[in-house]
């Protein structure tokens, strides 16, 4: 691999994406030109189609990861790689000039168009990972939200202000008493927020902040999560040990799923078939069959205290479970074993696997740090962000990490590349949770 990557460096610099045909040829031995000519590389056909590439990439995900980040050390990352380089390597595997039994077999069945589409797709993904050493110096500028840090609108609940603030414009929409957890529909049009003291869910139009409905659910609703198809929301009623299922077209509760003590929050698989619910009363993680609307089993999570929030790895085989105290359990969902218990900051908080699958970020309300876990080796870096961090979510491109600072009445934006606070934005009282489009 090393020799290969050394070679890569030249190819990439000499190599210009899109229609640089002469550069492309210059890098291939003469005997291969025949093969290329036969495949008729013509300039207009050069541009790959990201959508078609994404479809084709399902066959690659088993090794290179659903987001182009290799599932283990032997599988290279493809996300964010140069498009022209990817085309060149896939062609080399196809013609046999680069030898690897697996990839030679994989590439044999790919057409020239498939290769261009796959290359365009992987090049479009975000491939970075945190590299810098965490800084303890928080001297980030404070002031109105810098729109560049909010590539998409972000919604923060303000518990003590009973409101929601929408970034980057910082519009404030009043809701009910203590707006707690929130969630956005996949189309970005509707925002839901729970109010535990009134046992209700507030429904807002995400563009205008207009309240569309207030829906009564069970006792002390905490987490709210929307299914990937956008049709139903699951509300975890911590006080009545059940989940309310809200039909988002009818805006009413259509079902109630009994679970075990103190359900706190849910995470769905991408296909929407399974919901994993944290059972903070101690039982572990409840597995909900969303078709039957039943909890079918409970996976115990020994070694942690009160499963609080949860997110899944890119391949959905691993759950990262944040507890109430200062742990993250890495839970193998296939065999139900805890692979590792990681010590993080003190107090409960949110947890988020970045959409590119490369890191997990978790907050700690009793502390002044967030902890960022590298998903490959499970190493941890604590990043000082400010007092009382609780809600935490990465931007859809995994570039920024948004953190609510409950004790500073501010939202911090952490640069995921350098792991430093880029900006702190003062908001209303007790910012609790954050909803980010493309990372719900």
Stretch that binds ligand HEC, among 71-79, 177-185, 311-319, 370-378 (CB under 6 A): 71-79
- Tell me: does residue 158 bind ligand HEC (CB under 6 A): no
- Tell me: does residue 103 bind ligand HEC (CB under 6 A): yes
- DSSP string covering 328-345, please? EEEEETTTTEEEEEEE-S
- Tell me: does residue 92 bind ligand HEC (CB under 6 A): no
Please report how close the Cβ of residue 322 comes to ligand HEC at its closest, in angstroms: 32
- Tell me: does residue 186 bind ligand HEC (CB under 6 A): no
- Tell me: does residue 63 bind ligand HEC (CB under 6 A): yes
The helix or strand, by DSSP H or E, that contains position 229, with its residue range, turns out to be none
> 119, 59, 114, 52: which is closest to 88 by C-alpha?
119
Q: Which two tokens stand for residue 248?
A: 């988002």
| Cβ-based nearer residue to ligand HEC, 110 or 416 | 110
H-assigned helices in 76-232: 83-95, 101-108, 112-124
What count of Cα atoms within 13 Å lies in the side-chain half-sphere of residue 376? 15
Q: Distance between CA atoms of 80 and 119, rounded to whole angstroms?
A: 10
- Tell me: does residue 66 bind ligand HEC (CB under 6 A): no
Strand partners, 142: 424
Please report how close the Cβ of residue 88 comes to ligand HEC at its closest, in angstroms: 9
- Tell me: does residue 76 bind ligand HEC (CB under 6 A): yes
Choose which of 118, 283, 392, 435 interacts with ligand HEC (CB under 6 A): 118
Stretch that binds ligand HEC, among 101-109, 224-232, 265-273, 337-345 (CB under 6 A): 101-109
Stretch that binds ligand HEC, among 96-104, 243-251, 279-287, 379-387 (CB under 6 A): 96-104
Q: Which residues of 201-218 are buried (b: 16+ CB within 10 A; e: fewer)?
A: bbbbebeebeeebebebb
Strand partners, 383: 370
> 357, 312, 349: which is closest to 327 by C-alpha?
349
- Tell me: does residue 3 bind ligand HEC (CB under 6 A): no
Residues near ligand HEC, by CB under 6 A: 1, 4, 59-60, 62-64, 74-76, 78, 86, 89-90, 100, 102-103, 106, 118
């Amino acid at each position: 691999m090393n020799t290969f990557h050394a070679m890569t460096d030249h190819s990439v610099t000499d190599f210009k994406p899109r229609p640089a045909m002469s550069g492309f040829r210059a890098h291939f031995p003469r005997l291969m030109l025949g093969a290329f000519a036969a495949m008729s590389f013509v300039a207009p056909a050069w541009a790959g189609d990201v959508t078609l590439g994404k479809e084709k990439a399902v066959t690659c995900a088993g090794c290179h990861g659903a987001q182009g980040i290799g599932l283990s050390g032997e599988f290279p990352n493809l996300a964010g790689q140069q498009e022209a380089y990817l085309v060149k390597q896939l062609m080399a595997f196809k013609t046999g000039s680069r030898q690897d039994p697996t990839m030679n077999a994989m590439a044999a069945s790919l057409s020239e168009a498939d290769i261009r589409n796959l290359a365009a797709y992987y090049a479009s993904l975000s491939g970075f990972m945190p590299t810098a050493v965490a800084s303890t110096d928080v001297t980030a500028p404070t002031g109105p939200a810098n729109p560049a840090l909010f590539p998409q609108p972000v919604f923060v609940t303000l518990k003590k202000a009973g409101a929601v603030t929408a970034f980057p414009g910082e519009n404030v929409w009043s809701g009910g008493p203590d707006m707690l957890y929130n969630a956005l529909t996949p189309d970005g049009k509707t925002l839901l927020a729970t109010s535990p003291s009134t046992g209700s869910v507030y429904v807002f139009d995400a563009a205008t902040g207009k309240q569309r409905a207030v829906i009564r659910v069970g006792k002390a609703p905490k987490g709210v999560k929307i299914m990937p198809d956008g049709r139903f929301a699951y509300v975890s009623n911590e006080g009545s040990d059940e989940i309310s299922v809200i039909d988002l077209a009818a805006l009413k509760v259509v079902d109630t799923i009994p679970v075990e003590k103190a359900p706190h929050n849910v995470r769905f698989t991408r296909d929407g078939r399974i919901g994993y619910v944290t059972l903070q009363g101690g039982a572990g993680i409840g597995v909900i069959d969303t078709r039957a609307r039943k909890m079918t089993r409970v996976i115990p999570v020994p070694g942690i205290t009160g499963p609080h929030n949860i997110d899944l790895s890119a391949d959905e085989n691993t759950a990262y479970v944040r507890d109430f105290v200062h742990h993250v359990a890495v839970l193998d969902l296939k065999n139900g074993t805890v692979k590792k218990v990681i010590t993080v900051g003190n107090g409960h908080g949110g947890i988020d696997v970045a959409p590119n699958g490369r890191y997990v970020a978790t907050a700690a309300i009793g502390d002044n740090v967030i902890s960022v876990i590298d998903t490959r080796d499970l190493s941890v870096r604590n990043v000082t962000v400010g007092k009382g961090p609780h809600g935490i979510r990465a931007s859809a491109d995994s570039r920024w990490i948004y953190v609510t600072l409950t004790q500073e009445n501010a939202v911090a934006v952490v640069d995921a590349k350098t792991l430093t606070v880029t900006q702190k934005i003062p908001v209303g009282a007790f910012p609790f949770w954050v909803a980010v489009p493309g990372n719900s």
